[in-house]
Structures are given as structure tokens and as C-alpha cells.
Chain A
Amino acid sequence: MRFIEFDLYSDALCMGERVKGGLFRPCAKTIRYSQISGALRKKFGENEIHAAGYLVEENGYNKMDYFIYSPRDRARAISKVPLQIEFLTNVQGKVYVREDEFTAKNLPDKFGILMGALISKGFGSCTLTKRKFAEDKPLALGTLRTRIPINKLDIFGIEGSNIKRPVYGYLFEPISLTSGMYVLSLFEGSEVVAPRFLILETKRR
């Protein structure tokens, strides 16, 4: 199986996690399957796009910042309690899209998508630039750098028996335009045998 590797760049990106205590919305430090696949599906109108990614760890990129947002309740003419939102600036990441008939033909070398929260406030505009192709083989042992639902692991060449030390969480999977389910997912930090591009390889002693 082959994956198309893209560089992702964004000036400001808020890949929000769920709000904590009604006051604070942290930002994910990886590009999860549900978020990037959802953004690509919306952009290209195709439901069978599967992608995942991560943020690069280089100096100067992916700086954390905070934004105070006080949504206005127009019906009651009041402002709600301010919410502190964490976001990233100068975002640089890698995105891997599974190559199939559709993605091979329709994904341009360079294109823009909107991803994450606060898009109406100017966040979330991302540019994806095609770099190369990545093969899922050979596999290696390492620490997962992204979040992938358990039921989608096979798409990324990760077998159940290759999950050595999982870190679980839940990702939202839409069922229709208005509803969805939280599905058990493998989170970053899990120790797995997986394609090299999805992991930080464990150094052998």
C-alpha cells in the first residue's frame, strides 16, 4: 500500500480538543485521522479519503498561543463566559493520504483546505504541498505520532497484534450530517509496529 506525503503549513491552527470545565479548550499536538480526513473529504466531496498526520518537531514551528473568545448570545443580548482557546502558530506538519484511484487522480500537487476550529475567525487555513510517496512496508517498532480509530488501523497497515502498548482515547466519527459516535482510537504515544512514517522509531539497545 502506498501513501501520498504532503507538507502541511498554516499560519494559525486550532485543532481543538473538548472544552475543559467550560473555560478552556486545549489544542491537539498532532493531526488526527478524523480531523484531516474530514477536511479532505469536505474539500474533494469524496467519503473514502483516509489520512493521518503529525506536527514536525523543528525549532520555530508549532508555537503555542492563547486566544480569549467570548461568544455572543444574540437572542439574549449577552456575552457568554470567556473561553480560553489554545492554538498553534507557524504550523508545520506532515500528512499521509492513502493512495487509491480517487486520491491518485484528484489530489493536486498543491492545494488549500480549511481545518479545525474558529475558521470564521481566520484560523485553520492550511496549504498542502505534495512531496513524495511513502510505502507502508517495512514495518518498525516505535511510538505512534498520530491518532487513528481502531477500526481504521488496517488501512494504515497496523494489525491488532502489532499494538504493543496502547494509549487509548476517542475520536468522533460522523454517521450523518447531524450525528456521530465516539470510536475507540489509538492515540499518539502508543507503542506499535507500524509503517515508519507514522512512528518515532524505538532505538534498539
Chain B
Amino acid sequence: MRELVPELHDVLKLIKLRFSRDPHDIHEWDSRDYEAFEHLLAINTETWKGVRQHHLGFTEYPTEPDTFYLCVADSLASHVSRLGEAGHIERKLNKLWKPAEEERDVRLEGDEDISALFKFLQTDPSWEEFLQKYENLLKNRPEDFHHGKNITSLYTHSKLTGQFYRILRNNPHLFPLLPNEIGGKTKDEVGNLYRKKWNSEWKLTLARCKLHLLQRPFRAKDLNIFGALEDLTEEISTGYQDNLILRTSDELLLVLPDEAQLSDISMMAHQKGFWVEIIRARRALNELKPPNPEIMPGKKHENLYNLPEEISPPICEICQSAKATKRWPEDDILSRRELCPNCRALLTQNPLALVVDSLCEADRAKLEDVITEPTTEEICEVCFSIRSKEARLPKLANEWSKEAKITWLKLDLDFDQLEYTLENLSGKGEISFSVIGEFQEDYSQFLRGFNEQIHHNFRSENVENVLSDFFCIKIGSFKESLRILQIYHRLLENFLPAFLDLEKSPLKIAIVCANPKFPFFEVWKILEGAEEDIFISLQEGRTLRAPIRALRPLIEAANMQYHKSALYKLTRIEETSKALAELVFQNRRDEDSRTYSRLGKALRPGLDFSSIFTFARLLQD
């Protein structure tokens, strides 16, 4: 027999009985419903035991460690138990960031469908097997039907219950529970035991880990560090899949049984060229406050580097945190290319730039692509291995002309702002793990959709994916970068529409327009410093900064027709004096005042003058 599948504990929430109000406890079913399905309810599996015993409030209650762990995991993963008074019944999934449009009860209703479910449960299915049949239903059925509590899906709740169950059950030394503590006890005694474990005895660590680059990427090949970042987040997510609550391209929210795992994560990060910023708090289960350990009592904030006390020269020129033991490009050439013994010896002892003229003709031809490398760089093993990989952005490195126009596009999810936003949207001032889990589902879908739309709109041959939320796009003119805003708006409308009306959005979009020769570390510096909801930077130092509420007006303004000469005049005046440009922009007697007043009407007060002038500059391209 299969072990208990915790994700299926709420499977009875998928059915709508004809007479019984709440199908959760079979003992409390209306006798007419019971008689209709009695012959199918003899399910002899551990999972079925979990279905019947995971609550303390019904006739059946946990009588053995596994069902007790399930009961605790269910509470941790529930949005419902954390909130107060129930509202009216509302049978639709009403996500905080995307309210449902119409009421739709998706539960299985007919005898045939309900019987099929019970028959399937008799086969003792795994979670994956169950999903194949009922995933859609789980995703559309709220965890609870009451207004204000119907904000998370049964799918998210079930998945999280599975995660918490395994964290508790797989660490008996941290969450001890002896069979005699629970076996043969009354419901009240088990209830007391639950409160003891929940309120004080059992503790979990909530940790927010942000991965930072030790490197400052400089050359196109250094962008391979983002490949390493992707591998690292994937490795952590796979290794800690039961602990992972929320994940972006460089940040993870984890629930850990103890804090030893954080050293492992820090070590994994260091080996790949990163350091980790960790905010963590270890508290009793009733005191965990997702998603932000920063607001929990006893929180600790630390940066884990794993750095040596001293490094004898030379120091790595890229990460500056390890001894340089390799030369670039010489060691790369020597390890990969066939050279004659003479040239090999020359290159072993000298920098490439100094011996180019002394190389034999055949070897010089072989090294044509690297001969232009200006200098030798001394770098460490980690940076060498990252740089030696295939170029992360081959089109940017090899295909796109140096005169092309490109746009760097980065989406960023601000954890602190997310917490604030979700608290406000819920109106309860408290966020549960299930709300965060639900958001993760939609955020991942949003990113996938955004990715598809970017590739579709700009054509894949013009798009390089640096990360799942970081792109490099070749465009015909910088004005085209405004199309990105249209895509962004469309996707937000589809997946996270409530974000469009916020004062400040947790999701930020930053766009840097440049040409391929513009040094990447400058782009990265600009992207890292962008804090506004919408941020566009032009190479000449102009920036557009706008709140998310200005997104619609920006798109509308981008689709209007303007006199190009008026826009040109404005930006030229601004180059001399911003104050003068402001005066001209507001002067109703100016010959171009009609153009300026249309722009002003569309964009004020969301955008300041400097941002409007940047917008005007973009429109001219």
C-alpha cells in the first residue's frame, strides 16, 4: 500500500452532495447521501485515513503520527484558519490580484462523476496521477467558499499541505511525536497536544534568500554568470522543493526545518560565483508570518560570503574575491585549441597580445577570433569556468551588428512591496502561505505569457533570454521599446489586473535602450538602480520614471500622432536647459503648444517633466 498522500486530504471538497451541506466528515453526511455512495466508501488506503482524520473538529480526528502531521500541515497551508469571521457564500475563486468575474460552482455533482472519483481513490493514486484527472477542478475550486476566504485555490492549498507534511514528517528529530503521545487519546487530549506543538514546541525557519553576483559582468561572455544563476536557483529549487514557497530569478522564500540548510545554500552559491543575503526568523508555527521574515520577532539579517581572510596577488579581476590562477584568453586557447608546440610554448609563457606576431601563420589563422582580445585578464577558477562556457547570448555576441539598436528588459518582483500590496488587497493585514503559493502560480504563468509575447511580437531571432525575467531584444528603433509596455500591460490585465491600479506596484519593469557596444556593466548598474514601477533609460542618460498607474496613459500617448518637429524642438531645448524646456512646454502661446498640451494632458500628473521629455525623445526615434 502507498504511504499517505497528503495532497489528497481535502479531496471531499471536490464533490457536491445532494443533501449534505458539508461533505468533509462522512459521519455527518445526510443518510440519503451516505446510502447512495456507501458501497464506494470502503477505501482501505493510508490516504483515505488522512482524508477522514486530518481535522480536529469532526467526529474523526488524528489517531496516529501521520494523520497528526497532516493536521498540522493542513493548518500551515490554510488561508482559512488564519482569518476571522466568515462572509456570505461565494462559490468562485476570487484571487486578490484577479477577482473572478462570475460565480461558478465547479464541484462534481452527478452520481456518476462522484462515483468515478471514489472508484479512482480506491486505486490509491499518487498526487501526480490525481492531477492528470482533476487538476483543472482543483485549480478552479476555492479552498473555502466564504466571501473573503475564497481567495486561494484548493490546488495551492493541497500542494502546500504536501510540502509542509513532508517537512514535518521527514524531520522527526525536530518535530518529535511518539505513537503513545497520540494513540488511544481522546479528541480533547489530541487537541491539547496540537495546541502545545502549534503554539510553542515545534518551530520552523522562514528564510528569504537573495542571490547576488560576486562578479561584475563586463564582456558578453561574462553574461554566462546569468546561466550559472539560473542553474543555481534551479538546483536549490529542486533540492529544496518541499521548502520552496516563492521563487523569482534571483530570490527564494523558503520554509526550513532548521538553519543548517542555509549554510549548504550559501556554499552552493559561493561555488557558482554568488553570495547570499539572508533574512531569516525561527519561530513557533503560530508565529510564522509569510512572506517576510523581516517583520517577525528575532529576525536575523546577514550576508553570507565564505571569503578567505587574505588573498595573495594576483586577485581575480572579475569577482575580486578569489586568487587568480588562470589567464584569459591564453589558458582558454591552450585548453581548447590545437597549436604547434612552438606556439603553445610561446603562449604558455607570454600574454597573447605580446606574441601575436611571433605565432606561425597557421596558428594565427586558428586564433583569428581571439587575436583582437586587447589584454590578458587574470581570473579565478570559478570565473574562468563561467567564461569558458558557450556564450549565453550568441546572437548579441556574434550575429547582431555593432550598429544595431537593442533594448535590455528586466522585470523585478519586490518582496517587501508584494507583502504590503497583498496585505492591503486582502484588507486583513495578514498573508498566509497559501496566498503566496497562489501568487507564485499566477506569477509563473504571467512570466511564461510575457516570454511568449515578447518572442511573438519581436520574432525569436531578435530576442535573447538572459533569464526568465530578463531579455535582450534587437529593435529597429528605440520607439519600439514602447511596444514592450503594451505587452506588459496586456499581460498584467490578464494575470495580475489589480496591480494596474496600485499606488506602487510590487512588479517593476526596467528598460535600457542602448547599442551592443554599450558596456554591459553600465546596463546592469542602471537596471539594479531602477526602483520605479516603470523605468526607461536612454543611452544619453535620459530616463523616464513612472508609477504603474501611468502605464495606460503612456500606451495611449504612444499611439497618438505628434508633430515630430515640435518634439525635436523640445528635446533640443532640454539639452540646453531643463527649466527653459518646462517653460516652453507649458507656454500656451508657443507655436507648438497644441502638441505639448496633448502630451501634457495624456501624461501629467503621472510623469514629471524630465520623464515627459524622455518620452518625447523616444517618439522621435
Which A residues are within 8 Å of any B CB, using their own CB?
18-24, 80-81, 150, 164-170, 172, 179-184, 191
Closest to A151 in B: B309
The 5 closest A-B pairs by CB, nearest first: A22-B375, A81-B374, A21-B218, A182-B311, A20-B218
B residues less than 8 Å from A20 (CB atoms): 216, 218, 317, 521
Tell me whether B260 is interfacial, beta carbon within 8 Å: no
Could you tell me the distance between the alpha carbons of A169 and B311 in the complex, rounded to whole angstroms?
A: 11
B502 CB to closest chain A CB, in angstroms? 23
Is B308 positioned at the interface, with any CB of A under 8 Å from its CB? yes
| Closest beta carbon of chain A to B214's beta carbon, Å | 10
Report the separation of the CA atoms of residues A18 and B379 in the bound assembly, to the nearest whole angstrom.
Answer: 12
Closest to B372 in A: A81
Are the CB atoms of A21 and B309 closer together than 8 Å?
no
The smallest C-beta distance from B149 to any residue of chain A, in angstroms, reads 32
A-B contact pairs, 7 of them (CB 8 A): A22-B373, A22-B374, A23-B218, A24-B218, A150-B309, A165-B303, A168-B321
- B178 in the interface, Cβ–Cβ < 8 Å? no
In the complex the two chains form, is B374's CB within 8 Å of A23's CB?
Answer: yes
List the B side residues contacting A184 at CB < 8 Å: 307-310
Give the shortest distance, in Å, between A10 (CB) and chain B (any CB).
Answer: 24
Contact A170 B320 (CB under 8 A): yes
Judging by beta carbons under 8 Å apart, are B320 and A180 in contact? no
B222: A residues at CB distance < 8 A? 21
Residues of B near A167 (CB, < 8 A) are 303
Interchain nearest-CB distance for A161 vs B (Å): 13
The answer for the CA separation of A18 and B312 in the assembled complex, in Å, is 15
In the assembled complex, the Cα of A22 lies from the Cα of B377 at a distance in Å of 7
Docked pose: A19 CA to B307 CA in angstroms: 21
Residues of B within 8 A of A181 (CB): 310-313
**Which residues on the B side are within 8 Å of A80 (C-beta)?**
374-375
**B298 contacts the other chain (Cβ, under 8 Å)?**
no
B202 at the interface (CB under 8 A from A): no
Instruction: Answer whether residue B369 sits at the interface, using C-beta atoms and an 8 A cutoff.
Output: no
Contact for B307 among A164, A168, A172, A179, CB less than 8 A: A168
A-contact 0/1 string along B208-221, CB 8 Å cutoff: 00000000101100
* Closest beta carbon of chain B to A173's beta carbon, Å: 8
Q: Which B residues, 278 to 334, have Cβ-Cβ distances below 8 Å to chain A?
A: 301-303, 305, 307-313, 315, 317, 320-321
From A165, A169, A170, contact of B301 by CB (8 A): A165
Question: Is there a chain A Cβ closer than 8 Å to B239's Cβ?
Answer: no
Q: Flag whether B184 is at the interface (Cβ < 8 A).
A: no
Question: For window 358-413 of chain B, which residues contact chain A by CB distance below 8 Å?
Answer: 373-377
A170 and B316 alpha carbons, distance in the complex (Å): 11
Q: What distance in Å separates the Cβ of B295 from its nearest Cβ neighbour in chain A?
A: 12
A160–chain B nearest beta-carbon distance, Å: 13
B519, CB-defined interface residue at 8 Å? yes
- B interface SS class: loop
Docked Cα-Cα span, A34 to B321, in Å, equals 17
B320 contacts A169, C-beta separation under 8 Å: yes
Cα distance, A167 to B214, chains bound together (Å)? 11
Q: Which residue of A21, A22, A167 has the most chain B CB atoms within 10 A of its CB atom?
A: A21
Contact B315 A21, beta carbon cutoff 8 Å? no
**Inter-chain contacts of A172 with B (CB < 8 A):** 313
Contact of B309 among A81, A165, A179, A183 (CB under 8 A): A183
Report the bound CA distance from A150 to B309 in whole Å.
8
Scoring B residues 335 to 376 as 1 if CB is less than 8 Å from chain A, else 0, what string do you get? Answer: 000000000000000000000000000000000000001111
- B315 close to A182 (CB less than 8 A): yes
A183, B521: Cα distance in complex, Å: 25
- Given A21-B377, A182-B315, answer yes or no on A165-B302 (Cβ-Cβ < 8 Å): yes
- B238 CB to closest chain A CB (Å) equals 29
Q: Which of B513-555 contact A (CB under 8 A)?
A: 519, 521
Contacts of B374 in A (CB 8 A): 22-23, 80-81
A73, B161: Cα distance in complex, Å: 68
Q: What's the nearest-Cβ distance from chain A to residue B501, in Å?
A: 28
Least Cβ distance of B318 to chain A in Å?
A: 8
Of all chain A residues, the one with the shortest Cβ separation from B306 is: A168
Q: Is the CB of B302 within 8 A of A18?
A: no
Identify which of A18, A21, A164, A191 contacts B219 (C-beta below 8 A): A21
A162 to chain B, nearest CB (A): 14
A170 and B311: CB pair below 8 A? yes
Docked complex Cα distance between A170 and B322 (Å): 10
Determine whether the beta carbon of A24 is less than 8 Å from that of B519: yes
Q: Which residues of B have CB within 8 Å of A183?
A: 309-310
Q: Give A167's nearest chain B residue, CB to CB.
A: B303
Q: A23-B218, A168-B305, A181-B313 are in contact. List 12 more A-B contacts (CB 8 A).
A: A18-B320, A19-B317, A20-B521, A21-B377, A81-B374, A165-B301, A165-B302, A167-B303, A169-B321, A181-B310, A181-B312, A182-B315
The smallest beta-carbon distance between B150 and chain A, in angstroms, is 35
Q: Which residue of B lies closest to A23 (CB)?
A: B374
Across the interface, do B312 and A81 meet the contact criterion of CB distance under 8 Å? no
Closest to B305 in A: A168
Are A18's CB and B315's CB within 8 A? yes
Shortest distance between the CB of A87 and any CB in chain B (Å)? 16
CB distance from A65 to the nearest CB of B (A): 14
Residues of A close to B218: CB separation below 8 A: 20-21, 23-24
CB distance from A98 to the nearest CB of B (A): 23
CB neighbours of A164 from chain B (8 A): 301
Complex: chain B residue closest to A81, CB-CB: B374
Report Cα–Cα, A18/B311, bound state, in Å. 15
* Alpha-carbon distance between A102 and B605 when the two chains are bound, in angstroms: 60
**How far is the CB of B371 from the nearest CB of chain A, in Å?**
13
Q: Which A residues lie within 8 Å of B376 (CB)?
A: 22
Q: How far is the CB of B69 from chain A (nearest CB, A)?
A: 36
Residue on B nearest A17 in the bound complex, by CB: B320
Give Cα distance in the complex from A24 to B522, angstroms.
11
Q: How far is the CA of A191 from the CA of B301 in the complex (A)?
A: 10
Complex Cα distance, B374 from A21, in Å, reads: 9
- B317 near A180 with CB under 8 A, answer no
CB distance from A140 to the nearest CB of B (A): 18
Q: Is the CB of A182 within 8 A of B313?
A: yes
Contacts of A81 in B (CB 8 A): 374-375
The interface residues of chain A lying within 8 Å CB-to-CB of B301 are 164-165, 191
What residues on B are CB-neighbors of A165 within 8 Å?
Answer: 301-303
Nearest B-chain residue to A184, judged by Cβ = B309
* Chain A residues with CB below 8 A from B320, complex form: 18, 169-170
Asked if A166 and B303 make an inter-chain contact with CB atoms under 8 angstroms apart, the answer reads yes
Bound-state CA distance A69–B192 (Å) is 76
Shortest Cβ distance from residue B300 to the other chain A in the assembled complex, whole angstroms: 10
Q: How far is the CB of B356 from chain A (nearest CB, A)?
A: 11
Chain A minimum-CB-distance residue to B316 = A18
* Residue in chain B with minimal CB distance to A22: B375
CB distance from B351 to the nearest CB of A (A): 10
Among A168, A172, A182, chain B packs the most CB atoms within 10 A around the CB of A182
Contact partners of B521 in chain A: CB under 8 A: 20, 24
- Residue of chain A at shortest CB distance from B279: A165
Interface residues of B in 398-442 (CB under 8 A from A): none
Chain B residue at minimum C-beta to C-beta distance from A183: B310
> How far is the CB of A153 from the nearest CB of chain B, in Å?
13
